Amino acid sequence: MAQRLDFERPLQELEDKITELNAFMEEKNVDLTDEVSRLQKRLSKMEEEIYENLTAWNRVQLARHPERPTTYDYIDRIFQDFLELHGDRLFGDDEAIVGGIATFEGKPVTVIGHQRGKDTKENLRRNFGMPHPEGYRKALRLMKQAEKFNRPVVFLLDTKGAFPGKAAEERGQSEAIARNLIEMAGLTVPIICIVIGEGASGGALAIGVGNHVHMLENSWYSVISPEGAAALLWKDSGLAQQAADTMKITAPDLKELNVIDEIIPEVKGGAHRNIEVQAKSIQQALSKSLEELTQLTKEELVEHRYEKYRNIGQYTFVTDTIGLK
């Protein structure tokens, strides 16, 4: 049974009660089926109410669920013949980003993603999925390799951000991110990016400039984490829940702002409830995107990406009543 989040507690209580009643029926041999089915009805109604009215913060909680599937979980289920490739050829191998070659529905692709750990030990090794410059430069090496051999690139985004550390700054964290943005802008193969969990800031965008950008229903993507936003804007990271709302960071928000293409629906209660089914729906979205994008020529792919990002943003011009001039 998956670990429950605070907003799921009423469901948990009801489920416990049903289990209790079932056990009681068996033990004492009394018929309580009416009562049980009444409770079950109430449970599914409650589930509907909770999962269809998730707040932005609830989605952040789901995106951070300890059992939430990671890049490897999806690679195993969506791709075949995955062969992981390591290192940036300059400094080292950053395990916060993983990547390699594989086949997808029989066709060669390169797949790259942020990789969190499943436990503390692995998280230390993978730096909680927060890359150093060598991680971004590994991604760059692999995407240039993909371009050379005309393979589409699939990026899976899931990070709390690029790592804020001394070594990262010394080795040019800014340049590593900036370089990837430039190179992704000009890549002559299809790029598809999918936010599978958390998408924080330049650390996410550094593998996020795609022809198509999709988000899982309960993932989030923004310029900063809700905690960071609350600390910066209101000097109180405790206001993260409010920031999650104000900053417009959910998949529906980003769809509304025209930043993403598709929202990939999640299994009821979150991707961790059924990884197989979740992987299937990601595969379908990927399949559709690839079919569409492989129709385009190299020049058209670059042009398509140019147009997509060229048009993001909202601005206006001075009228008599506002502005200075």
Partner 1 sequence: MLKDLFNKKKKYATVPSDKIKQDVPEGIMTKCPGCKSIIYTKELEKSHKVCVRCGYHHQMSAPERLKNTLDKGSFKELDADMISENPLSFPDYVERLEKDQKKSSLNEAVVTGEGTIDGHRTAIAVMDARFRMGSMGSVVGEKITRAIEHADKEKIPFIIFTASGGARMQEGVLSLMQMAKTSVALKRFSDHGGLFISIMTHPTTGGVSASFASVGDFNFAEPKALIGFAGRRIIEQTIREDLPEDFQTAEFLLHHGQLDRVIHRADMKKTLSKVLMIHGNRGER
Interacting positions 51-110 with partner 1 (CB under 8 A):
none
DSSP string over 255-292:
HHTT--SEEEPPPTT-GGG-HHHHHHHHHHHHHHHHHH
Instruction: Using CB under 8 A, pick the residue from 96, 157, 168, 192 that binds partner 1.
Output: 168
Residue 143 has which token pair?
A: 């995407």
Could you say whether residue 165 binds partner 1 (CB under 8 A)?
yes
Could you say whether residue 207 binds partner 1 (CB under 8 A)?
no
Q: How far is the CB of 14 from partner 1 (least distance, A)?
A: 36
Interacting positions 210-239 with partner 1 (CB under 8 A):
221-224, 229, 232-233
Could you say whether residue 116 binds partner 1 (CB under 8 A)?
no
Neighbours of 116 (CB within 10 A): 23
Q: How many residues bind partner 1 (CB under 8 A)?
A: 58
Q: How far is the CB of 23 from partner 1 (least distance, A)?
A: 46
Residue type (1 letter), 121: K
Could you say whether residue 246 binds partner 1 (CB under 8 A)?
yes
Binding mask 291-310 for partner 1 (x = CB under 8 A): --------------xx--xx
Nearer to partner 1 among residue 112 and residue 254 (C-beta) = 254
Instruction: Using CB under 8 A, pick the residue from 171, 255, 268, 273 that binds partner 1.
Output: 171
Contacts of 276 by beta carbon, 8 Å cutoff, 6+ apart: 77
Measured between alpha carbons, how far is residue 135 from residues 69, 161, 285 in Å?
A: 21, 12, 26
Q: How far is the CB of 58 from partner 1 (least distance, A)?
A: 19
142-154 as b/e, with b when 16 or more CB fall inside 10 Å? bbeebbeeebbbb
Q: Which of 183, 102, 104, 188 is nearest to 138 (CA)?
A: 183
Interacting positions 249-268 with partner 1 (CB under 8 A):
249, 253-254, 257, 259
| Lookup result for tokens 């080795």 | 171
**Distance separating alpha carbons of residues 88 and 16, to the nearest angstrom:** 50
Interacting residues with partner 1 (CB under 8 A): 162-166, 168-175, 177-179, 181-186, 201-202, 205-206, 208-209, 221-224, 229, 232-233, 246-249, 253-254, 257, 259, 305-306, 309-310, 312-318, 322-325
